[in-house]
A and B are shown apart, each in its own frame.
Chain A
Amino acid sequence: MMLRNLFIFLILALAVTSLKGCSQGPITVRRVVFNQTISHNDVTFIAPGKTDLLAVVERLGTPNEILTSKDGIVTRYYFADGKYFKANYGWGLRFLIPFFTPDLDLGGGGIGRDVFQVTYDDHWLVRDKSFAFHSHSSEFVVWPFRD
């Protein structure tokens, strides 16, 4: 009886181990997001020469970076979006040729980063602000051979 239980346990363990490959499947879709994006609507309250650093931080949070430049002090907010897709086109062959299942992985992705930048004068009043939008450059790439 004990030998039978051991045998059943072994079969179940082998079944679960083999299913691990199935659950990973032929397709992988992944995304990594760094911070929430800041839009034009979020920064309409900023008035150059009037709004100060603390007012900006209160509404937008702490910047990711503070830099120095000849025009003053620069704070930068980053938002990044990364997307990745992979399909194993050889995955289905395991049902036709069980002893030989080559992987044929095709796919790709990218990372785009938005930046919102605010420059302050020596009294911590906003001198100017600007955006750079690149986060939409990231996409799930299904077919990597296109131009």
Chain B
Amino acid sequence: MKSGCYLLGFIMVALLLQGCAFIRGNYGEELGQGDITTIQKGISTRADVAAVLGAPDRIIEANGREIFHYYHYDIKSGSVLIFSRTNIKSDDTFVIFNGAGIVEEVVAGKRKGPLEFQFWPFDWPFH
């Protein structure tokens, strides 16, 4: 009788654990605030920026300016039994150069709200 209960308990735990997964991933390196503050507006050049932040993921031409675009995506995914939810958040960085190749502006800022692990896919009853 006792071993039967153990077996049932084992099966129940195995059943619940089979459908449970929490996964985290990211794309691109998260640039530290320390790295960004070393870039000086009106002084740093394209080479200086590349030396600190590395080669950009994309280079954009906009109204006579050149823009270095650095990607960063953070992903958190949770699955429990039949429910699954994946949250993705982007925190990109842009460095804008003037026509002479000197840094004109650094665009870096966090999106609102923390990225959470969630498995409940519906808005209700929490919203």
Contact = CB atoms under 8 A, between A and B. Distances in A.
A146 interface: no
A32 B86 CA distance: 5
Nearest to B96: A66
A83 interface: yes
A124 B18 CA distance: 53
Nearest to A85: B121
B109 A19 contact: no
Interface in A68-125: 68, 72-73, 78, 83, 122, 124
A10 interface: no
Interface string B93-127: 11000000000010111111100000001100000
B1 interface: no
Contact of B109 (A20, A61, A72): A61
A36 interface: yes
Nearest to B93: A62
Contacts of B69: 66
Contacts, number: 112
Interface string B67-93: 101000000000001111111111111
Contacts of B89: 34-36
A28 interface: yes
27 contacts: A16-B14, A16-B18, A19-B11, A22-B15, A23-B16, A23-B18, A23-B19, A24-B19, A27-B82, A28-B82, A34-B88, A36-B112, A42-B112, A53-B107, A54-B105, A54-B107, A57-B107, A57-B108, A61-B110, A61-B112, A62-B108, A63-B92, A64-B92, A66-B107, A68-B63, A73-B62, A122-B63
Interface of A: 12, 15-16, 19-20, 22-25, 27-36, 42, 53-54, 57-58, 60-64, 66-68, 72-73, 78, 83, 122, 124
Given A28-B84, A29-B122, 15 more contacts: A12-B10, A19-B14, A23-B18, A25-B82, A29-B83, A31-B84, A31-B121, A34-B88, A36-B89, A53-B105, A62-B92, A62-B93, A64-B92, A66-B107, A68-B63
